Structure 1
């Protein structure tokens, strides 16, 4: 079980994931251009190229191929920098034509290193350029780091929009706010006559944002200059800031710069050792009308663990009930859901020894019997039938 390190919420910059349901929609191009546009507003910006199998950010930002990052005496890696943006990528750790052949645990290790073992210095904003899909990398980042939100990139093409919808739903399930949808490759303007041809239909990104109740960040038109500038290592947002695409990138950047993470709920990440009373998270203010799936406070109570939610509701859960409710692979059959844990083997006086945040959507817990591999989603905690909810 990956438990959080000693980072405090105050040490972490705002983290925004840029994702897509499928490949080929220009997600990395959007990330590179928006990052440069953000940096030109005066923000301190970093980019984690989290697509470890197909890294492309360094090339788009004009970093020399094969440039290896240096290492400080502390062991931390020094990120590269281009156009005012700090960058770390698998492309900087491997040869240009050498594939990254990695299993899931190694991918997780690299992602943790890219965020925690890099000497980023003070940052205002960190963009994480995700690979397409809804797999290990997306889940690892959602579990390990307190993402302020996600931006979903799609083309107006019907198949792309359908897959983008799945990516949106995945982020919602792990309590990552959707900051908006970007419709990329939205029409081609003829440079000679000015007529617009909608190669992949039109308006699909705006429609899906409206259907799902999330912001629409804008349309980025097709422009040959985007490809040329990316190949030259000077993103269009800098090379041609007044072009239609350049203006679109800057408008998206301005929106993201102003979308400060103001989620109701407790600050993450945290790791609270109950036996020593260290690392207890500071309570967040209760907000009437706030979503009930945001945790506002954790306390020890006579009946067990006291959870107070952002909307003011509270519940107390007994340690033994929580231990029996564990749904990890050693306690529940992954296919049938049947309980594998024998209740007779769980002591009546079992205690919780440690609690830590899992992204924005769950808690990890360690118990006095040594068990520490369960993830308790906020949804499952609220749904425990033997916990009486009350307003406080």
Structure 2
């Protein structure tokens, strides 16, 4: 039975797409067939991390949502681009063209088509796992991606605005009866106590923390030009990505 993992944050800038790409790669490397859908249509970007250049993208999620193609026509196999030694990794990107983004913001789309597309994608690619890189905040689109997932991974930074916004997102997830919710705390200053922070977050929200990532100049230096855990497999952050992936697989 294919499993759906939604990666979400209440605010932008939390590192959501980086986390999604690294988890997708870490899961695929264990021999699984993994799909990633970029539903952040107003501000897409995960294609950069997964090595897919805009000039090589002809069909996108936008194309499918506007009835211009089948969902499988917007799929790109990035396994070879990333030189994966095992497993398969597929991406459905959103359009980065300014007029396409303007159109989606102005006219919207039928959210039911998004749900149908997820189902078709899982079936036609014979996926083991589908990861959804959501648009931050709360909208009818994110309500859907939260509602249909088996595991919701909420990312927050140790910041008061993130704490408050994440409480709202968690409340929505509970109202939608999401089966399993976990947190990832990202961009933690290295001089903070990780153990104390984990305990505080888990006590405050009553949700387990699946991973904790320090604010890293190495991530910043990579500048979204590749999947960190593939380029630097021995780095402590890469070890944490793999640990979160294992935690997810164990939950599922």
Task: For 1:24 and 1:85, locate their aligned partners in 2 and report how far apart those are by CA, in whole Å.
Answer: 24
Match of 1:121 in 2: 125
Task: For 1:56 and 1:139, locate their aligned partners in 2 and report how far apart those are by CA, in whole Å.
Answer: 21
SS in 1 for 2:224: helix
Match of 1:77 in 2: 72
Residue 22 in 1 paired to residue 27 in 2? no
Output aligned runs, 1:19-168, within 5 Å: 19-66=8-55, 67-69=57-59, 75-78=70-73, 79-82=75-78, 83=82, 84-91=88-95, 95=97, 99-102=101-104, 106=109, 108=111, 111-112=114-115, 114-118=117-121, 120-142=124-146, 145=148, 147-168=149-170
Whose relative contact order is higher, 1 or 2, with alpha carbons under 8 Å and at least 6 apart?
Answer: 2
Match of 1:3 in 2: none
Task: For 2:200 and 2:124, locate their aligned partners in 1 and report how far apart those are by CA, in whole Å.
Answer: 38
Residue 213 in 1 paired to residue 209 in 2? no
Output aligned runs, 1:187-198, within 5 Å: 187=189, 196-198=190-192
TM-score scaled to structure 1, two decimals?
0.54
Task: For 1:257 and 1:99, locate their aligned partners in 2 and report how far apart those are by CA, in whole Å.
Answer: 34
- When residues 18 and 76 of structure 1 are mapped into structure 2, their CA distance, relative to the original with a 3 A threshold, is closer
Structure that is richer in strand per residue: 1
Structure that is richer in helix per residue: 2
Task: For 2:110 and 2:222, locate their aligned partners in 1 and report how far apart those are by CA, in whole Å.
Answer: 30
CA contact (8 A) 1:46 1:120 kept: no
- TM-superposed deviation, 1:142: 4.3
**How many residues matched?**
233
- TM-superposed deviation, 1:30: 0.9
Match of 1:251 in 2: 243
Task: For 1:14 and 1:141, locate their aligned partners in 2 and report how far apart those are by CA, in whole Å.
Answer: 13
Structure 2: unaligned runs, 5 residues or longer = 64-68, 83-87
TM-score scaled to structure 2, two decimals?
0.81
- TM-superposed deviation, 1:172: 0.8
Match of 1:225 in 2: 218
